[in-house]
Amino acid sequence: MHNPVPRLLCPFCSREYKSDVALLAHAESNKSRCGIKSHPGWRHFVDQITGGLIDVAGRDSAGNYNYVVSPEAMALYGPAQTKVGALDKGVPENGYVVDEW
Ligand SMILES: [Zn+2]
């Protein structure tokens, strides 16, 4: 059975992408002719496309955006959620050990 390839449209220029990673690379690229990075909704777009994991933390002196792990993601997945002693056994493949989901 053929599964359709999901298509994502850039909300600014309507170009079509096969993955969220490709769409974000398009939007974030300085070589892109798309103007979404200069749109007031850029921070919201980054939040949506990364599922709330990444937040825009301002710009440097050259005008490039700085990105951080969002406070919400740190509260959910960050080091504070790591079980004491769990890292003594080695870091699991999926990263940090989280107490409860
Ligand atoms: Zn675009």
Rounded to the nearest whole angstrom, what is the distance from the C-alpha of residue 3 to the centroid of ligand 1?
26
The end-to-end CA distance of the chain, in Å, is 34
Domain span at 44: 1-68
Rounded to the nearest whole angstrom, what is the distance from the C-alpha of residue 62 to the centroid of ligand 1?
22
98 φ/ψ angles, rounded to the nearest 5 degrees: -105, 135
pLDDT in tens, 62-82: 988 999 999 889 888 888 766
Structural domain count, the chain: 2
Residues 52 and 32 in one domain: yes
Residues 10 and 47 in one domain: yes
Rounded to the nearest whole angstrom, what is the distance from the C-alpha of residue 27 to the centroid of ligand 1?
6
Please report the pLDDT score of residue 52 as a whole number: 93
Residues 52 and 14 in one domain: yes
Residues 39 and 59 in one domain: yes
> Considering the chain, what is the average pLDDT of its residues?
82
Residues 6+ apart with CB under 8 A from 72: 52
Q: pTM score, two decimals?
A: 0.70
Residues 19 and 46 in one domain: yes
Rounded to the nearest whole angstrom, what is the distance from the C-alpha of residue 96 to the centroid of ligand 1?
34
